[in-house]
């Protein structure tokens, strides 16, 4: 692995990028890393980038003094970023499953890559990639709570509440990090495994979303 994949390294990677005032790119065009052979680090950062963009759009979508068209644009961006974030999570899992020896390269991209684990190994219901995704979201929450504490227009009650929540968020991230490290260690030892369960998000797919199917049929009937 390019990165010694431990929670401390992932947390540092997440936090360092959130401290960059230019992170993430304001107008993303690529939903995958630019490298022709992206590493797991590339996908971890892609996941984090789209979580960061998603966070920004979620804030914008809750504005009350802008036009409906602007909110609709925010909602469409949220759908796109959420799909890209999920896709990056699955790519992380694919790479990890191969490098941990749980699936072979050929089956990693299939709809149902089944782990080649020992019969007595326990199955973890959550994938390592989804845990990295959660670490990214916790990094965003922690970053946002730090920003609240830097505000000069808040009262003591708000400050105390933010300090309490920040402490709890840091605790949550520490706990999740330990669980992530333990899962990877147990996978390497052959005592645990996880499988990818494809999300098959249907609302973004015009073949499966019933409303988009209906629109397509209606539009085809209107054509001369």
The mean pLDDT of 45-69, rounded to a whole number, is: 94
How much is the mean pLDDT over the chain?
87
pLDDT at site 2: 47
pLDDT at site 23: 87
pLDDT at site 127: 95
Residue percentage of the chain with pLDDT more than 70: 82
User: What are the residue boundaries of the structural domains of the chain, listed by start?
Assistant: 7-110+123-209
Burial class (CB in 10 A: 0-12, 13-18, 19+), 62: exposed
Examine the pLDDT at 118 and tell me if it is beyond 80. Answer: no
pLDDT in tens, 88-108: 999 999 999 999 988 877 677
The mean pLDDT of 182-193, rounded to a whole number, is: 94
Overall size of the chain counted in residues: 224
With cut-offs at 50, 70 and 90, classify the pLDDT of residue 45. very high
Angle at 54 between CA 40 and CA 52, to 5 degrees: 55
* Higher-pLDDT residue of 103, 53: 53
The DSSP code sequence of the chain is --S---HHHHHHHHHHHHTSTT-S-SS---SS-SSSS--HHHHHHHHHHHHHHHHHHHHHTT-SSS-HHHHHHHHHHHHHHHHHHHHHHHHHHHHHHHHTTSS-TTTTTSSS------TTPEEPSS-HHHHHHHHHHHHHHHHHHHHHHT-SS--HHHHHHHHHHHHHHHHHHHHHHHHHHHHHHHHHHTSEE---------TT-TTT-HHHHHHHHHHHHH--
Burial class (CB in 10 A: 0-12, 13-18, 19+), 187: buried
Q: Which residue has the tokens 């007595």?
A: 120
pLDDT at site 3: 47
Region of 122 on the Ramachandran plot (φ > 0 left; ψ -120 to 50 alpha; else beta): beta
* Higher-pLDDT residue of 189, 217: 189
pLDDT at site 219: 66
């Amino acid at each position: 692995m390019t990165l010694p994949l431990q929670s401390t390294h992932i947390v540092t990677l997440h936090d360092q990028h959130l401290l960059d005032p230019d992170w993430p790119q304001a107008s993303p065009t690529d939903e995958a890393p630019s490298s022709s052979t992206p590493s797991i680090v590339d996908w971890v950062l892609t996941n984090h980038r789209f979580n960061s963009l998603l966070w920004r759009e979620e804030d914008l979508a809750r504005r009350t003094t802008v036009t409906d068209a602007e909110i609709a644009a925010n909602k469409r961006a949220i759908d796109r970023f959420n799909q890209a974030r999920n896709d990056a999570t699955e790519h992380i899992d694919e790479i990890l499953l191969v490098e941990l020896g749980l699936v072979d390269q050929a089956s990693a991209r299939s709809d149902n890559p089944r782990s080649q684990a020992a019969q007595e190994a326990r199955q973890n219901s959550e994938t390592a990639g989804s845990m990295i995704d959660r670490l990214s979201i916790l990094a965003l929450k922690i970053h946002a709570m730090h920003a609240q504490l830097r505000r000069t227009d808040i009262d003591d009650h708000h400050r105390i509440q933010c300090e309490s929540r920040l402490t709890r968020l840091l605790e949550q991230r520490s706990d999740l990090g330990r669980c992530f490290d333990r899962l990877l260690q147990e996978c390497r030892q052959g005592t645990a495994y996880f499988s990818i369960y494809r999300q098959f998000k249907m609302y973004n797919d015009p073949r499966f979303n019933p409303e988009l199917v209906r629109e397509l049929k209606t539009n085809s009937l209107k054509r001369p």
